[in-house]
Each structure stands twice: as C-alpha cells, then as structure tokens.
Homo-oligomer: A and B are copies of this chain.
C-alpha cells in the first residue's frame, strides 16, 4: 500500500480482531442475515482488515452493506441456486445476495469440482459486492489448489482513447500455495488505482500520480496532480484510467484486461457487462485448479518457494529497501495486526459507536 493511504500512527485507534469480529457479526445478524452467513461475511471483511486491505475491509465497506440491507437493495435471505452445471462448471443466480456471502459458497463448489475433474469454474450473476477478491481465491490454498476470482463492476474507467467511462475497476485475484514462503496472493484492480483509493486521496488531499485519472475531456493526466485541479474535481471523479495510463505507456493492456473480467465475470454469467443499463450491479467468476491434476504437489510448492525467494532476494533499485512479491506484505501485515490490533481512523470508531447504538448492539471495540 502506498504510504499516503495509511492511517497516520498518531491518530490510529487499534482494535483487536476478536472484538471486531463480534461486533461485525452482530451487525449482520441485525440486518436479518442468518448466523452462519453473518459469521462468513464477517470473516471476509475482517480478513481484509487483518491483511491491511482497508479499501475492502470493515471501515470502507460495512456501512454501504448496512445501507444496502436497509434499502432492500441487498437480499438478506437469498435463495441462491445453480442455473446450469457440468462436471467442471456451474453458473449461480445469487438472488441479490451479497457477494461476500455467496461467492465463498461458489468457490466451495469450484474446489469440489477441481478435486473431481481437475478444474472448477463457477460464474455468479444477479449478485452484489464480493469484498476482497483474493479472499475467495485464497480458499483454494488449503486444498492444494490455485484459486482465481474476478468481478465485473459498475463502470468508472475510460477505455483507451475514450472520453466516457465504460468499464469497472474489474479486479483480478489469483492465489497459489508455496511450501515455506507465504502464499502468492495477487489482488488488483485493472485500473491504475482502485476507485475508493481515489476517494481516499481526495478526502486526505493527497496528490495523484501519473496515469491515475483523465481530465474532464478524457485526456490522460500523465503528470502528478495536486488536487484540486480540473480533471480531478467533479466529473473526473469517475474518470479512472486503465493501468498503463495512456496508449504509449500501455493502457491498452489494462483496458483489455478489464474487458476480460467483464466477459468472464459478467457476460459469461448471463448477467451482462458492467455498462448494461439497469444491470443489478455485480457479476463474478471464481475458479480452482487442482495442482495434483498437472504435477506432483510437493514439487510445485518447492518450486514456488524457489520462485518467491528469488523475487524477494532481488537486488533492490536505489531508494528501496527490498523487493516484495504479491501476498508478502499482506502476510506480514496480518502477523503484525494479530499482535497489535487493526489501526482504524477515529472516524471509523465514531461510526461504530453510532451504529452499535442505533442497532442496540453492545459496543466493545475500545
């Protein structure tokens, strides 16, 4: 995570994982979600906070879920069902159920299929936000499988050469097990920066880096931007750029990857792509690959160790202490937060005080 997105240590309020889980589970229960699903939803959210993925953790997402349940936009008791199935595939109608609850169930189906025929791939339509995509991909790890998750989001990103947002931030997550090293866990939007990071930068008054946004005409801003400037305020809040920024620096790659996510997570689920007028929000795809279906699992994990260690031990460029691999900083953060708690902004604590009072739940965080 870029330094500018961290909650400053001098104002952070540290919350212990167990207390947070208790409170979040109570909130979901009050929304009418059953006990098991409330615990599952809590696990997805708190795992994000533990791994330092604030954007998809409790502080950033829970209030929008509460509001979705309150308005009836989210179904608190979805009758999700499989609409089509083969030995390696399934398609699920999520019945407006929250993605953080239905997607783990889809991933369980994919994992079972991968055990049976080598690969499992499950699409989900008529769903909602699925939280941290890598949560679902990581479910494969304990089964000695590689996990994958993509989600087709509402539009906010410009296609290369375009002046209208056409694609979601459409993240891709892949998790693969190692032996002694922490698992490889990649989880990233196909835009240069995730939408809520832009919101965060605006709130904190931070600068924007080259290739993050376009101006109001759709021209990529390839220099640093100190907000507020034209192209940052107002309309351009939706004008995220695909990773690469502009064509010369490779934005057609981020653009194409975003399309792939819309195809696999949206169109192939039967729920349509992000820009479909009136599409109810999100489509997802999860997949699991059984390592033993391709090769000896122990050898795979040993080779992963070699690979990840080699990346970690790469000579760093000037100004950098070390080279990371995807999943390494998150794994370290998880250890640190297990010991010291999760650092929240005081505003988040205030929100918890308000919502627990409103829902008549005991407040136990601080």
Q: What residues make up the interface of A, taking CB atoms closer than 8 Å to B?
A: 2, 84, 86-89, 91, 117-119, 121, 123, 146, 158-164, 166, 172, 174, 176, 184, 186, 188-190, 192-193, 209-212, 214, 217-220, 222, 243-245, 247-250, 252-257, 259-260, 262-264, 267-270, 272-273, 275-276, 289-291, 293-296, 299-300, 303-304, 306-307, 310-311, 314-320, 322-326
Contacts and interface: CB of A to CB of B under 8 A. Distances in A.
Contact of A304 (B162, B211, B267): B267
B217 A318 contact: yes
Which of A89, A250, A262, A316 has most chain B Cβ within 10 Å?
A250
B252 A268 contact: no
Given A86-B118, A121-B119, A316 B163 contact: yes
Contacts of A212: 249
Contacts of A217: 317-318
A317 B162 contact: yes
Nearest to A87: B117
Nearest to A325: B259
A253 B243 contact: yes
Contacts of A314: 159, 162-164, 166
A300 to B, nearest CB: 6
A146 B264 contact: yes
Q: Count copies of this chain in the complex.
A: 2
A189 B252 CA distance: 11
B84 A295 contact: yes
A250 B163 contact: no
Nearest to A299: B270
Contact of A275 (B189, B310, B318): B310
A184 B2 contact: no
Nearest to A248: B209
A164 to B, nearest CB: 5
B88 A117 contact: yes
A159 B311 contact: yes
Contacts of A296: 270
A322 B252 contact: no
Contacts of A289: 89, 121, 264, 268
